[in-house]
């Protein structure tokens, strides 16, 4: 029977003790609205999530839940929570494994998060992913199809909901175990690893809709706004000390150049190695020797955005050097390349910082990449001078956050059907191509270089070229002779700091 088979899987996986079988069975029967087991057949080879979907349909038939997306997700989260350790148990196991190896600990937590369906592996698998080779390395392209579309019933219910201020946001620790609502995600099966970062309480969790392997989030236990400051660099470096296999970075702290959630201090990380981290030193720049920080090496990265890479064996020295650059950059202007630090009292300059560990000549070092950002708007570029320009908005107009800064495009789901129509247009076939793609498509048609068998790959590569231009638009110092000269002037002013 379906309930027994579902429980069997958890027992065989070691998620449920045999002694807890009856207890879990009765909990599941209650969630189904059943007073006893029912003889419902299921394919014995079916994967657990397939059986979960069938159980969800049975719960709907029982009238326990309705048909909306939120009701289904809330119910499924409660079911999978039957097999997830309590927060205290999971944290105890995590830190016991950590004593052997941080990698063993994160592997354990990652597997629990996937097995519990907290990480939506099936949804993530729908994403379209491919690579595009450029002069700056391989850019990673993702058309994000993982988040399910809301149906009209769901949208209507959300509009009818009264405002609830708990949890304060989707990143607060109060999300752990929260059932969810029509307008707020289900988190019954959600767990957070508690940790100390410096003298503060922080948490580690994985992203439900990950854009790369082991996409994790480090979050402050306190609900407070994101700020880029010296303490930010110190926390990032400290996190890489605790988890040397992971990178960790912060979105910038200003609108336009910042991420989607600026109200809660948090960082993103994981085991992925992005193109920016692998990018070489820019040959147009000298080997900088900073007298104020002799234990820190300084490099300019060959990247479409403006990146200063610091390395040091000393966590204190690299944090101090990063803070010196931040303080200089906050007040720096160069009108010749459109950089103004302030408009009246409004500050425009900030930094997107990324930390990781590296080994150079056999020595383990801390590494900080500082991506210079500016959020100034102009009459010509009202969405942002250092933001994707309007001619690129048919592909990408959203903020360029941490993940994209490092070379992974997160493109909107509308592009899947839209690019199919563009392909038909290019092949002179009947199509419903959006007008905003026409200028780009006409240019591609004139260039040629594709046929019916290759047009999909051709378009993927062309979208990659657009993303490269997106990063170029977001770069404050362009990789041109004029831009490199301006970058050099800024670096000269930095090198004078502290002397």
The string of pLDDT tens digits covering residues 75-116 is 999 999 999 999 999 999 999 999 999 999 999 999 999 999
Distance CA 429, CA 423 (A): 9
User: Which of 29, 64, 99 lies at the terminal end of a domain, its last residue?
Assistant: 64
Q: pLDDT exceeding 70 applies to what percent of the chain?
A: 96
Tell me, yes or no, whether 197 lies in a domain.
Answer: no
Tell me, yes or no, whether 469 lies in a domain.
Answer: yes
Regarding whether 435 and 417 lie in a shared domain, the answer is yes
Return the half-sphere exposure (C-beta side, CA atoms, 13 A cut-off) of residue 408. Answer: 17
For 266, residues 6+ apart whose C-beta sits below 8 A from its C-beta are: 171, 217, 218, 219, 220, 226, 250
Regarding whether 470 and 490 lie in a shared domain, the answer is no
The reported pLDDT for the residue numbered 147 is 76
User: Burial letters for 351-363: b for 16+ Cβ neighbours within 10 Å, e otherwise?
Assistant: bbbbbbbeeeeee
Assign 3-class secondary structure to 309-330.
Answer: EEEECCHHHHHHHHHHHHHHHH
Tell me, yes or no, whether 109 lies in a domain.
Answer: no
Q: pLDDT exceeding 90 applies to what percent of the chain?
A: 89
pLDDT band at 38 (very low <50, low <70, confident <90, very high): confident
Regarding whether 494 and 434 lie in a shared domain, the answer is no
Regarding whether 279 and 382 lie in a shared domain, the answer is yes
The answer to whether the CB of 33 falls within 8 A of the CB of 61 is: no
The answer to whether the CB of 126 falls within 8 A of the CB of 143 is: no
Mean pLDDT computed over every residue of the chain: 94
Regarding whether 348 and 483 lie in a shared domain, the answer is yes
Tell me, yes or no, whether 441 lies in a domain.
Answer: yes
The reported pLDDT for the residue numbered 1 is 82
Asked whether residue 160 carries a pLDDT value surpassing 80, the answer given is: no
Distance CA 202, CA 182 (A): 28
Tokens, residue 445:
């048609």
Regarding whether 270 and 239 lie in a shared domain, the answer is yes
Regarding whether 459 and 335 lie in a shared domain, the answer is no
Regarding whether 330 and 260 lie in a shared domain, the answer is yes
Which of 1-15, 34-48, 245-259, 391-405 shows the lowest mean pLDDT across its residues? Answer: 34-48
At 301, give phi and psi (nearest 5°).
-90, 140
The answer to whether the CB of 231 falls within 8 A of the CB of 348 is: no
Query: Burial, 424: exposed, middle or buried (Cβ in 10 Å; 0-12, 13-18, 19+)?
Result: middle
Residue range 350-366, pLDDT digits in tens: 999 999 999 999 999 99
The reported pLDDT for the residue numbered 149 is 63
The reported pLDDT for the residue numbered 13 is 93
Regarding whether 447 and 494 lie in a shared domain, the answer is no
Asked whether residue 155 carries a pLDDT value surpassing 70, the answer given is: no
Tell me, yes or no, whether 391 lies in a domain.
Answer: no
Asked whether residue 336 carries a pLDDT value surpassing 80, the answer given is: yes
Tell me, yes or no, whether 215 lies in a domain.
Answer: no
Residue range 46-75, pLDDT digits in tens: 789 999 999 999 999 999 999 899 999 999
Tokens, residue 416:
């899947």
Distance CA 304, CA 139 (A): 11
The reported pLDDT for the residue numbered 158 is 57
Return the half-sphere exposure (C-beta side, CA atoms, 13 A cut-off) of residue 6. Answer: 29
Residue range 404-431: mean pLDDT, rounded:
97
Q: What is the pTM of this model?
A: 0.94
Tell me, yes or no, whether 136 lies in a domain.
Answer: no
pLDDT band at 178 (very low <50, low <70, confident <90, very high): very high
The reported pLDDT for the residue numbered 152 is 60
User: Which of 44, 64, 84 lies at the terminal end of a domain, its last residue?
Assistant: 64
Residue range 102-131: mean pLDDT, rounded:
96
The reported pLDDT for the residue numbered 461 is 97
Q: Could you tell me the sign of the dihedral formed by the alpha carbons of 281, 282, 284, 285, in that order? A: negative
- For residue 352, the cross-strand partners are 371
The reported pLDDT for the residue numbered 47 is 85
The reported pLDDT for the residue numbered 157 is 60
Asked whether residue 35 carries a pLDDT value surpassing 80, the answer given is: yes
The total number of structural domains in the chain stands at 3
The reported pLDDT for the residue numbered 270 is 97
Range of the domain at 31: 1-64
Residue range 294-312: mean pLDDT, rounded:
97
Residue range 261-274, pLDDT digits in tens: 889 999 999 999 99
Regarding whether 485 and 469 lie in a shared domain, the answer is no
Regarding whether 444 and 348 lie in a shared domain, the answer is no
The reported pLDDT for the residue numbered 103 is 98
The answer to whether the CB of 332 falls within 8 A of the CB of 325 is: no
Residue range 414-433: mean pLDDT, rounded:
97
Which of 157-166, 223-232, 249-258 shows the lowest mean pLDDT across its residues? Answer: 157-166
Tell me, yes or no, whether 459 lies in a domain.
Answer: yes
**End-to-end CA distance of the chain, in Å?**
76
Regarding whether 310 and 293 lie in a shared domain, the answer is yes
């Amino acid at each position: 029977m379906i309930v027994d088979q579902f429980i069997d899987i958890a027992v065989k996986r070691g998620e449920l003790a045999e002694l807890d079988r009856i207890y879990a069975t009765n909990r599941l029967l209650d969630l189904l609205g059943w007073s006893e087991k029912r003889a419902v057949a299921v394919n014995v080879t079916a994967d657990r999530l397939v059986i979960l979907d069938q159980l969800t349909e049975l719960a709907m038939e029982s009238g326990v839940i309705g048909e909306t997306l939120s009701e289904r997700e809330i119910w499924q989260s409660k079911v999978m929570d039957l097999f997830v350790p309590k927060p205290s148990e999971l944290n105890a196991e995590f830190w016991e494994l950590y004593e052997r190896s941080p990698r063993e600990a994160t592997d354990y937590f990652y597997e629990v998060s996937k097995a519990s369906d907290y990480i939506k592996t099936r949804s993530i698998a729908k994403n379209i992913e491919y690579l595009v080779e450029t002069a700056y390395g391989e850019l990673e392209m993702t058309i994000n199809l993982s988040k399910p579309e809301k149906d009209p019933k769901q949208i209507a219910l959300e509009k009818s909901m009264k405002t609830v201020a708990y949890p304060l946001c989707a990143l607060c620790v109060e999300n752990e175990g929260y059932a969810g609502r029509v307008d707020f995600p289900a988190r019954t099966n959600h767990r957070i690893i508690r940790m100390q970062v410096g003298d503060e309480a922080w948490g580690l969790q994985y992203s439900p809709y990950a854009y790369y392997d082991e996409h994790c989030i480090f979050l402050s236990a306190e609900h407070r706004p994101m700020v880029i400051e010296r303490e930010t660099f110190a926390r990032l470096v400290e996190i890489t000390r605790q988890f040397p296999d992971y990178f960790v970075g912060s979105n910038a702290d200003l609108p336009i150049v910042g991420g989607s959630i600026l109200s809660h201090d948090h960082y993103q990380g994981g085991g992925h190695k992005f193109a920016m981290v692998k990018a070489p030193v820019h040959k147009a720049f000298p080997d900088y020797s900073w007298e104020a920080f002799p234990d820190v090496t300084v490099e300019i990265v060959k990247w479409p955005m403006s990146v200063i890479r610091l390395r040091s064996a000393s966590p204190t020295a690299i944090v101090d050097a990063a803070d010196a650059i931040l303080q200089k950059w906050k007040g720096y202007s160069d009108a010749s390349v459109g950089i103004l630090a302030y408009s009246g009292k409004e500050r425009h300059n900030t930094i997107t910082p990324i930390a990781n560990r590296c080994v150079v000549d056999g020595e383990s070092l801390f590494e900080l990449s500082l991506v210079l950002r500016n959020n100034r708007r102009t009459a010509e570029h009202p969405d942002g001078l250092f933001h994707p320009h309007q001619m690129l908005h048919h592909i990408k107009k959203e903020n360029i956050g941490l993940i994209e800064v490092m070379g992974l495009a997160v493109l909107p789901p509308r592009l899947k059907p839209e690019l199919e129509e563009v392909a038909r247009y290019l092949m002179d076939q009947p199509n419903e191509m959006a007008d905003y793609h026409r200028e780009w498509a006409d240019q591609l048609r004139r260039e040629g270089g594709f046929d019916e068998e290759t047009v999909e790959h051709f378009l993927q590569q062309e979208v990659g070229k657009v993303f490269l231009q997106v990063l170029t638009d977001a770069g404050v110092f362009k990789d041109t002779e004029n831009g490199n000269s301006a970058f050099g002037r800024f670096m000269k002013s930095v090198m004078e700091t502290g002397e």
